[in-house]
Structure 1
Amino acid sequence: MIDKLGFLLALARERNFRRAAEACGVAQPTLSAGIKQLETELGVLLVHRSSRFQGLTPEGEKVVEWGRRLLGDVRAMRQELQVARGGLQGHLRLAVIPTALAMVPALTLACRRRHPGMRFTILSRTSAAVLEMIENLEADAGITYIGNEKLGRVRSVPLATERYRLVVPAGSPWCGRDAVAWAELAGQPLCLLTPDMQNRRIMDQLLQQAGVAVEATVESNSIVTLIAHVRSGHWMTVLPESVAATMGGAGGLHALPLVSPDAGYRIGLVVPLHDPTPPLTAALLAEALRISESREEV
């Protein structure tokens, strides 16, 4: 039944039989047959069918909810058995908002030092996608904004406060400044993250507080793309302080504090509410708590 529940969860996520089968690594007839067998075992119709997927029945929605819990329990059990056999080891999937990617090594390095058998897959996603992946069991944990928009059924641990820098090319007349007010960005050649990114929504809020509206001439969901445009000498961008610090002045770029308002937004680790917490997720959570406590002591 576990494999069949996995098929149903993939179908609920992908909303398409072919894509769900590809996600599960099986042929489409195998996935369809597995879901039909699950319907027979449970005695209810789970999927509205025609020539294509038309949605889940109310019973199907309930089975998906239970399936997520059961598959989460199975994954936690398997990790517990691995620990019993030979210490904490295994693969942990972490979904991270692009502006927080620079924070990840602090967590992964700390985990690897205590548990050398841990391996990581780190995926860059929007804040909404981070939470969706956790809910759909596609990620074991995430790093995203906390306290700014609703998070749902997760536990969060603050890791850092995000503040913003105006990044300008070498030779820009802004380079000699100590700081720049948000209102001064009006009319400037800006390249910014796309509006589906929470970072961009935060910037728009700060600009609104400053009483100005800006229009980006280039938008991208890639920070690398933004930096490349600034290096061309024709654009400027706004990046979190942690990201600007990783550039280390490479390519002659300059990062200036943005003030008035001088706002900060919390970034944190989010993990699903699951009792017991799977061992790999618990190890990651423990390191996040150590980082959070050390920052509070500073």
Structure 2
Amino acid sequence: MIDKLEMFIALAREQHFGRAAEECGVTQPTLSAAIKQLEEQLGALLVLRGSRFQGLTPEGQRVLEWARRLVADARTMQQEIRSGRHALSGHLRLAVIPTALAYLPELTMPFSKEHAGVTFSILSRSSVEILSLLENLEVDAGITYLDNEPVRRVLQVPLYRERYCLVTAAGAPLSDRSHVTWCDVSTVPLCLLTPDMQNRRIVDSILAGVGMTADPTLETDSVVSLFAHVRTGCWASIVPESLAAAFSSDALKVIPITEPDAGPLVGLVTTHREPHAPLITALLRLTRRIAGADPRPQ
């Protein structure tokens, strides 16, 4: 039944029979037959069908919650059996907010040294997408903001507070300052992340708190694009210090922003369930050790 539940989860996520079948590595008729068999086994209609996928029935929504739990438990069991015979191995899937990507090696490097048999997939995603990926079992853990917007039904391990700085080209306005205020940064042409990114909403909120607005002349969802445009000297940007350090060069000036010295809490999140899979348990143990903090279930 587990394979059928995995197909059902994929269908609920993709909301399209063809895409779900492709994700599961089966033909569309095979997936459709598996969903039909699942409905027969459970004695309930789970999927609203027409010429295309039309959604889940109320029974389908309840089965989806159970399916996620059962599939997660099955994967945990498989990992535990495998790790009981051999050194910890497997594949760890992480989703990370773009502004925390520069920090991530602080976790992946020591983890890789302790568990050489583990490989990683790292996705750059928004905070909202990270929670969705966790819920749908598409990633094992995420690194996201903890205290700016609600982060529910996950286990949290705080890591660090973001500290913001102005990044600008040498010779550009404000580049000769040792520090700037939030009022100062609103006076120069800015390129910022797009409004769907929580980092941008945090920056907008801080500026609003001092009576200013950002009014960027360029927006992007790419950190690489952000720094590429700053290097031209036509724009400046507001980014966390750790991210600025990763892109530092003689051509760029990194200037701390003060008054107020505001910064949100960033941490690791994963599903709030016991027992965790061995890979996640090892990741939590390492994260707590690095952060020196206990998890905060919410």
TM-score range, shorter chain: over 0.9
Q: Secondary structure at the match of 1:176?
A: coil
Quote the Cα distance in structure 2 between the aligned partners of 1:43 and 1:52: 22
Q: Deviation string for 1:64-110 (max 9, x for gaps)? A: 00000000001101110111121211101000000001111111111
Q: Secondary structure at the match of 1:200?
A: helix
1:143–1:267 CA contact under 8 A, matched in 2: yes
Instruction: Give the partner amino acid of 1:287.
Output: L
Instruction: Give the partner amino acid of 1:37.
Output: Q
TM-score between the two structures when normalised by the length of structure 2: 0.96
Asked if residue 288 in structure 1 is aligned to residue 297 in structure 2, the reply is no
Q: Secondary structure at the match of 1:93?
A: strand
2:166–2:185 CA contact under 8 A, matched in 1: no
Cα distance, 1:184 vs structure 2: 1.9
Change (3 A) 1:173 1:218: closer
Quote the Cα distance in structure 1 between the aligned partners of 2:176 and 2:235: 17
1:15–1:55 CA contact under 8 A, matched in 2: yes
Quote the Cα distance in structure 1 between the aligned partners of 2:195 and 2:201: 6
Q: Deviation string for 1:136-188 (max 9, x for gaps)? A: 00000000001221111111111111011110012123122011111123342
Quote the Cα distance in structure 1 between the aligned partners of 2:113 and 2:130: 26
The percent identity for this pair of structures is 55
Cα distance, 1:251 vs structure 2: 5.0
**Which blocks of at least 5 consecutive residues in structure 2 are unaligned?**
294-298
Structure 1 segments (4+ residues) deviating >6 Å = none
Cα distance, 1:209 vs structure 2: 0.5
1:48–1:56 CA contact under 8 A, matched in 2: yes
1:199 matched to which residue of 2?
199
Q: How many residues align?
A: 293
Cα distance, 1:18 vs structure 2: 1.5
Q: Deviation string for 1:13-59 (max 9, x for gaps)? A: 11111211122121111111110110011110000000011110010
Q: Secondary structure at the match of 1:102?
A: coil
Answer 1 or 2: which has greater helix percent: 1
Asked if residue 149 in structure 1 is aligned to residue 149 in structure 2, the reply is yes
Mapping for residues 253-268 of structure 1, pairs under 5 Å: 253-268=252-267
1:276 matched to which residue of 2?
275
Instruction: Give the partner amino acid of 1:194.
Output: T
Mapping for residues 44-63 of structure 1, pairs under 5 Å: 44-63=44-63
**Which blocks of at least 5 consecutive residues in structure 1 are unaligned?**
none
Quote the Cα distance in structure 2 between the aligned partners of 1:242 and 1:261: 19
Quote the Cα distance in structure 2 between the aligned partners of 1:106 and 1:243: 13
Quote the Cα distance in structure 2 between the aligned partners of 1:131 and 1:290: 24
Quote the Cα distance in structure 2 between the aligned partners of 1:280 and 1:121: 13
TM-score between the two structures when normalised by the length of structure 1: 0.96
Q: Deviation string for 1:177-227 (max 9, x for gaps)? A: 011111123342111000010000000000101101121111111110000
1:162 matched to which residue of 2?
162
